[in-house]
Amino acid sequence: MFFNIFSAIIIVSSLMVVLSRNPVYSVLFLVFTFLNASIIFLISNAEFLAMTLIIVYVGAVAVLFLFVVMMLNINSTKIKEGLLKYLPFGVLLTLVFVGELYVIFQGESLGFVTPKIDIEELFQNGNSNTKAIGLYLYTDYFIIFQMSAYVLLVAMIGAIVLAYKDKKSIKSQNVFIQNTVRKEDLIKLVDSKKK
Amino acid sequence: MTNIEEYIPILIFLLMAIIMSVGAIFMSFVFGEKEPYFEKSSTYECGFEPFSDTRGKFDVQFYLVAILFIIFDLEIIFMFPWAVALIELEPLGFWSMMFFLFVLTIGFIYEWKKGALEWN
């Protein structure tokens, strides 16, 4: 029952993300969607993922989206243009996601996926959720874990390359030079009568 | 397995927060005196007409700091299950995290040298 309630809230609020006119409201509805998704994770016994969703998505990604919304300087009336233009792309993405979900849930019977972990057995040994992830992520899924490091590295360097402007023209203070300056460097005594 | 009952205090806190915040606004909306007229409800800025739109542009530096924060946030998130399970992990588990940190430290050194963390 709880699953139905929260997934209904997710659907409505994610529709509001797309449909609301003010982009800031869209971001706030996105936060609400993330919160409800984390509750669904909590219901399905994925505690660690639930907390991660709140820390990473609500705490960081949503703030990032807010920055983007504030930076883009969008006129909220112009935002509804081009809905039909993006529709085929959206349908395509939806199909890809549905296909991925199908592979995840039915992949075992189709022969795509062979799960390495017996989840029931893992929890019967008294492992907490976080520990269960830790026991497998760093050894059995070694390559995926290392690939995520490279994804993060690419994101880091990409963000710097795209968004960082080297502002050499701005004059900033060098504290070390300021503190080590001596009066001989700055004041020159000149005898004015001697000339 | 998770005991969902452990989260009931959080639910109570959440409900109280919703009740308090919605209640405060709703009560003042219902019981407050409202006499709106044009000058009162028009926008003003220190007694002047507003100079510019509310939705001003931000410097891109804020975005850069936010995205660098997310990356290190994720790095820390990856360390939590590792720290909990470390005592039962094989040496491979330990060294995979060391290599993960090494790769991200390369990025960290890059951004430090590039000066992306300097605020100007």
pLDDT of B36: 83
What would be the CATH architecture of the domain defined by A1-76? Up-down Bundle (1.20)
pLDDT of A151: 93
Q: Does B10 touch chain A (CB under 8 A)?
A: no
Tokens of A14: 């994610």
**What average pLDDT does chain A have?**
83
User: Where are chain A's structural domains?
Assistant: 1-76, 88-117, 130-165
pLDDT of A134: 87
pLDDT of A113: 62
Q: Do A71 and B57 touch (CB under 8 A)?
A: yes
Chain B residue closest in CA terms to A22 = B55
Q: Is B72 helix (H, G, I), strand (E, B) or coil?
A: helix
For chain A positions 30-59, those within 8 Å of chain B (CB to CB) are 42-43, 45, 47-48, 52, 55-56, 59
Q: Do A135 and B89 touch (CB under 8 A)?
A: yes
Average pLDDT over residues B47-60: 68
pLDDT tens per residue across span A60-108: 888 888 877 777 666 555 555 666 778 888 899 999 999 988 887 777 7
Q: Does B44 touch chain A (CB under 8 A)?
A: no
Give the ipTM of the model, two decimals please. Answer: 0.75
Q: Chain centroid to CA B26: how far?
A: 27
A 10 A CB-CB count for B2 gives 18
| Percentage of chain A modeled with pLDDT above 90 | 25
Chain B residue closest in CA terms to A133 = B81
Distance CA A72, CA A78 (A): 13
pLDDT of B109: 92
pLDDT tens per residue across span B17-27: 999 999 999 99
Instruction: Tell whether the model's pLDDT for residue A176 goes beyond 80.
Output: yes
Give chain B's domains with CATH numbers: 4-114 (1.20.58.1610)
Q: Chain centroid to CA A122: how far?
A: 29
